[in-house]
Structure 1
Amino acid sequence: MEYRHLGKSGLKVPVLAFGAGTFGGTGPLFGAWGTTNAQQARRLVDICLEHGVNLFDTADVYSDGASEQVLGEAIKRRRSQVLVSTKTGLPIGDGPNDAGTSRGRLTCAVDKALGRLATDYIDILQLHAFDAHTPVEETLSALDALVRAGKVRYVGVSNFASWQIMKSLAVADRHGWPRYVAHQVYYSLLGRDYEWDLMPLGQDQGLGALVWSPLGWGRLTGKIRRGSPIPEESRLHETARFGPPIDDAHLYRIVDALDEIAQETGKSVPQIAINWLLQRPTVSSVILGARNEMQLTQNLGAVGWSLTDEQIAKLDKASLVTAPYPHFPYRRQEGFARLNPPLT
């Protein structure tokens, strides 16, 4: 397993992480992801650790805290061997203070997460969404207090816009508070919006990307083919409505390219899609989801080899879409491209 620094921090994380959204799954979204119990979760954690995957990601909103609780059971008596990442900020109830990143909410949310995870510290705490109702200064000072108390070691964000991150980093620098070192983002061959603003910001400011849904909400599992219906057993029937809409023609162009490369390499479509992400700038780790041992073992095969430059170029071309202003058309014009060369 390869390990990379998480952004500009000193923390090293594996290039593949495990997403515990399937643990204890309930409700229309998380129930469709998976319903892994504690015993099954322990076995999946065993497999991860055997392959060098020691980063496990969850959130308090995943199945109303059940994911954190099951993960806590699965890592019991081996806490020192793993890194735990969790998120908070999205609504967990109907009360006026059951959402957001105020000082009170963050303090309470972290204490409850520590209890469910059965640990006394969180390695990476990420804000699940930007809270426009709470001053950035209040949020960051609360995070600083949590770090100083030893309850949190590193802080990051998820699903933030570039200006929200930049404003937060400026405030953190002004007061000497902890800087965000991670940004958990949606990024895949089917969704490359991350590259337009957030990737350059991440490289410039030292945020490592923790990639979620690397298989495009289940569309790049190798089960979807041009001219064929979605298989009955696919979870896409339940989860597709929660993700962004995808043009069929665009999807099939990418799948066709993946199939060609699968023939050349002998690798599976998911392995190729994940490996492509691992070649992209700023990516620290790709978060894998798996409902069973077979899915997990297959996805772990995405490392230990690399796509060729020609294969990467083929996938780049198949997945390319027109970027919004001001990124297009100016980046293709010589003068603008000279001032803003591609990231490496």
Structure 2
Amino acid sequence: MEYVRLGSTGLEVSPICFGTWRFGLEHEDSGVVETGREDAHELLDALEERGGNFIDTANSYGGGDSERWIGEWLEERDREDYVIASKCFWSTVSRFQENLSKKNVKAEVEGSLDRLGTDYLDILYLHRSDDDTPIEHTLRAVDDLVSEGKVHYVGVSTCDAWRLVKGLWKADVNNYEAFTVTQPEYSAVYRDPIVDDLDQPPEHKEPITEYLDVCEDQDLAVCPYSPLHGGFLTGKYERADDGSVRGPDGSRADIDDQFESDYVAEAAWSVLDEVRSVAEEVDATPAQVSLRWLMDHERFTCVPIVGARTVDQLDENFGAVEVELSDDQWERIDAAIDA
């Protein structure tokens, strides 16, 4: 597999990142655990076999099980062969559950390193914003962790464009380690203009154009989560006669009561139709075309994070590496959101 340079970090990563948010995830409404320990290790084995080296996790995923299971898997491997990203904000080791204070950031990172069984994180993301802690305090804590060799690069996930700029500015004037990687929600469906009838929290409704403009200007790598829009862009969903979403048994629409309200709006169907059309032209699946559309962004390095639940899904996702889109096909998908 041909690796790509992750923005200005110098890290060489597989063009698709494997996200492990499903590891240990239990749905409250159904009680279903999406990925257990054995399945998690099987997926990581499959990732290794396909040449993937970029793994994304967080201290909160599965109550810490995601990091633990990755750590167990890494024990028999050379840590240097993998790029591991984790996050801080929702703590599993501190009673301060939601803040980015110096105390909490350092405690959370120590907890992540312990669960992962490693001495360092390649990337530490600030998982969410903290309005009550000055960003320079958080950046100072992260800068200390970089100086100690416990964190190599700093990223930010899910924030507004102005917060991203403020963080970059504060790092610059204080000579702290600055953000080099971002992790927004972004896909062929979820972009600007963002459809406004989705039941999403306020920070998810901000137009993403300005955010991505900052990433381009500052040479920040973009690692979008939910690149298949919660599975919608796999093409497995259909619109029922009553306008509702119809999906196969065991799909997110089947086990997650909020899937339809959170992910599907009128504009989404227009994009899916164009993705399906292009998929037929290039003999690929809608999922592969949707991932390739992200990977082919020229303004910034774009490495989508996939959350496959099965080895077959992982195979399909990594098949996007072999797909080729023409400029016209890419632009048709790009324009479909406005149809």
* Counterpart amino acid of residue 11 in structure 2: L
In the alignment, what sits opposite 1:35? 35
Does structure 1 residue 264 correspond to structure 2 residue 281? yes
Q: Deviations over 1:158-179 (max 9, x none)?
A: 0011111111111111121111
Aligned runs of 1:29-108 on 2, under 5 Å? 34-37=34-37, 39-78=38-77, 79-90=79-90, 92=92, 95=95, 97-108=96-107
CA distance in 2 between counterparts of 1:76 and 1:226 reads: 46
Assess if the C-alpha contact under 8 Å between 2:234 and 2:286 holds in 1. Answer: yes
CA distance in 1 between counterparts of 2:259 and 2:111 reads: 27
Structure 2 residues without counterparts, runs of 5 or longer: 193-206
In the alignment, what sits opposite 1:154? 153
In the alignment, what sits opposite 1:336? none
* Counterpart amino acid of residue 228 in structure 2: L
In the alignment, what sits opposite 2:226? 213
Structure 1 residues without counterparts, runs of 5 or longer: 322-344
CA distance in 2 between counterparts of 1:220 and 1:244 reads: 16
Q: Deviations over 1:116-149 (max 9, x none)?
A: 1111111100000111111111101100110111
What is the TM-score of this pair, normalised by structure 1?
0.86
The SS at the match of 1:22 is coil
Aligned runs of 1:121-200 on 2, under 5 Å? 121-193=120-192, 195-200=208-213
Sort the Cα spacing of 1:33 and 1:214 in 2 relative to 1 into closer, same or farther, 3 A: farther
The SS at the match of 1:23 is coil
Sort the Cα spacing of 1:67 and 1:29 in 2 relative to 1 into closer, same or farther, 3 A: farther
181-190 vs 194-203, which deviates more?
194-203
Assess if the C-alpha contact under 8 Å between 2:16 and 2:306 holds in 1. Answer: yes
Question: How far did 1:3 drift?
Answer: 2.5
Assess if the C-alpha contact under 8 Å between 1:4 and 1:284 holds in 2. Answer: no
Question: How far did 1:91 drift?
Answer: 5.6
What is the TM-score of this pair, normalised by structure 2?
0.87
* Counterpart amino acid of residue 248 in structure 2: P
CA distance in 2 between counterparts of 1:22 and 1:90 reads: 16
Question: How far did 1:251 drift?
Answer: 2.2
CA distance in 1 between counterparts of 2:311 and 2:183 reads: 24
Does structure 1 residue 273 correspond to structure 2 residue 290? yes
Assess if the C-alpha contact under 8 Å between 1:42 and 1:75 holds in 2. Answer: no
Assess if the C-alpha contact under 8 Å between 1:262 and 1:269 holds in 2. Answer: yes
User: How many residues of Structure 1 are paired with residues of Structure 2 in the alignment?
Assistant: 319
Q: Alignment partner for residue 282 of structure 1, among 300, 308, 311? A: 300
74-83 vs 148-157, which deviates more?
74-83
Sort the Cα spacing of 1:146 and 1:165 in 2 relative to 1 into closer, same or farther, 3 A: same
Could you list the structure 1 runs, at least 4 aligned residues long, displaced by more than 6 angstroms after superposition.
none
Assess if the C-alpha contact under 8 Å between 1:36 and 1:291 holds in 2. Answer: no
In the alignment, what sits opposite 1:2? 2
Assess if the C-alpha contact under 8 Å between 2:94 and 2:104 holds in 1. Answer: no
CA distance in 2 between counterparts of 1:94 and 1:114 reads: 14
CA distance in 2 between counterparts of 1:232 and 1:33 reads: 15
* Aligned residues with identical type, % of pairs: 34
RMSD: 2.3
